[in-house]
Chain A
Amino acid sequence: MSENRKKILEMLAQGKINADEAYRLLGACGEEGQENRRHEDGGKRGPDIKTKPKYLRVTVTPEDNDDRAHPERVNVRIPMSLVRAGIKLTALIPPEALDKANTALKDKGINFDVRNIKPEDLEDLMEAMGDMQIDVEGSHGEKVKVFVE
């Protein structure tokens, strides 16, 4: 048991803090301990290990009971480096075109400014995409999946 935890329990026993405060402090100690361990081993231990996503995958599969000999399928694998290069290409798009894209997005009910995608934020975006998975089921039973691997 760490020194901090012992002190908290002593304070609780002496009645200096109540159970809620002790619980909160112990929780903070736990987080701090985990943070310290992560710093010590350079963040390479435990469930925090995350491999960088390599590919963006888009698949379209037909409905399960599609009994045709050759059902329609789409399987696309895009390297993340190409996605990166594509996002960097937005710097070449003239501002008028970006305004038009923003207006079109707004018309579709998406309130997003495409000018906010900056190359500086690219790495964070790529990292966040590692947890992304989009599943869409169409009206005819086809399944669309977008994910990274």
Chain B
Amino acid sequence: MNWPPMLMHVKVKNERTDFGLWLPLFLLFPLALVVLLILSPLIIIAILILLALGQGRWVEFGFRCLWAAITSSWALRGLRVDVQGHHETVQVTVI
């Protein structure tokens, strides 16, 4: 089973700054769920209006986009980008 990404580490190093940032992605999932629950009445109303107007394809498209966003973010675990320039280094790691 593939686990969702838990942490993201961003590190930027140049002549002036040198900082690393740990982003707790696992905290975003409950937050996203709460936002979705709060917005769900509005989403349902929007879906009903679109269906009544005969624009059901936009509903389908919206769901497909949402699913694609979820699967893409789920698959981010293991991503590592490391770019080193002459004077600057940027590292992004998803754990």
Contact = CB atoms under 8 A, between A and B. Distances in A.
A, B bound? yes
Interface of A: 54-55, 68, 70-79, 81-82, 84-86, 88-89, 91-92
Interface centre among A70, A74, A79, A91 (most CB of B within 10 A): A79
Interface string B74-86: 1111111111111
A54 B80 CA distance: 13
A91 to B, nearest CB: 7
Contacts, number: 62
Contacts of A78: 79
Interface string B29-66: 00000000000000000000000000000000100110
9 contacts: A70-B84, A70-B86, A75-B81, A75-B82, A85-B68, A85-B75, A89-B68, A92-B61, A92-B68
B17 interface: no
Contacts of A76: 80-82
B71 A88 contact: yes
Name the 8 nearest CB pairs between A and B, nearest first: A81-B75, A79-B78, A75-B82, A77-B80, A82-B75, A73-B84, A85-B72, A85-B75
A79 B65 CA distance: 21
B87 interface: yes
Main secondary structure of the interface of B (DSSP, over half): mixed
Contacts of B79: 77-79, 82
B86 to A, nearest CB: 5
Nearest to B77: A79
A84 B75 contact: yes
Contacts of A79: 75-79
